[in-house]
Amino acid sequence: LRAEAGAVVARSEARIPSTLLFLTGGDTTVRGFGYRQIGARQDNDTVVAGRYLAVGSVELQHPLKLNGAISDFEAVAFVDTGAVADRVSEMRAKVGAGAGVRWYSPVGLVQADLAHGFGEGGIAIHLRLGFTF
């Protein structure tokens, strides 16, 4: 299980640089969506960084056995969700789900996931090497 939330609290007319606001989506947040593809919406439907963020994931990992012994591989299934908006009332969750494989290699964890982002997402392959800090 993983959960993350954030908020930038300031007057509505305050101009806050986008580098201090939130975007989400991608390998480590909501799989099935592109990197930083989930954000607040402007009137012309453009995605921009927003003041509020909520992200959560549920992942089931199961070791794979080879010849009756636990191997260095795991199968995983997951559901990710995330939302970004400028007002809490505008938060709309985007959901991605899929499956993947983990390999505990000598150089670190190798991850390969196939995910479907429901709604505006799509089918995406997410590959990662190494540990996330």
pLDDT, position 32: 95
Of the two residues 78 and 46, the one the predictor is more confident about is 78
Over residues 67-77, mean pLDDT = 95
In this predicted structure, which of 27-31, 41-45, 52-56 has the lowest mean pLDDT?
41-45
Confidence of residue 131 (pLDDT cuts 50, 70, 90): low
- pLDDT tens, 107-118? 889 999 999 999
How many percent of the chain have pLDDT more than 90? 84
Whether the pLDDT of residue 44 is over 90: the answer is no
Rounded CA Rg of the chain: 17
| pTM score, whole prediction | 0.87
The two structure tokens encoding residue 114:
């196939």
Burial of 33 (0-12, 13-18, 19+ CB in 10 A): buried
The edge-to-edge listing of strands for the beta sheet with 69-85 is 2-7, 52-66, 69-85, 94-105, 108-117, 123-129
CA–CA separation, 120 and 42 (whole Å): 16
pLDDT, position 130: 78
Dihedral angle, C-alpha 22, 25, 27, 32, nearest 10 °: 170
The two structure tokens encoding residue 98:
């899929």
Q: Which residue, chain included where needed, has tokens 């990992």?
A: 61
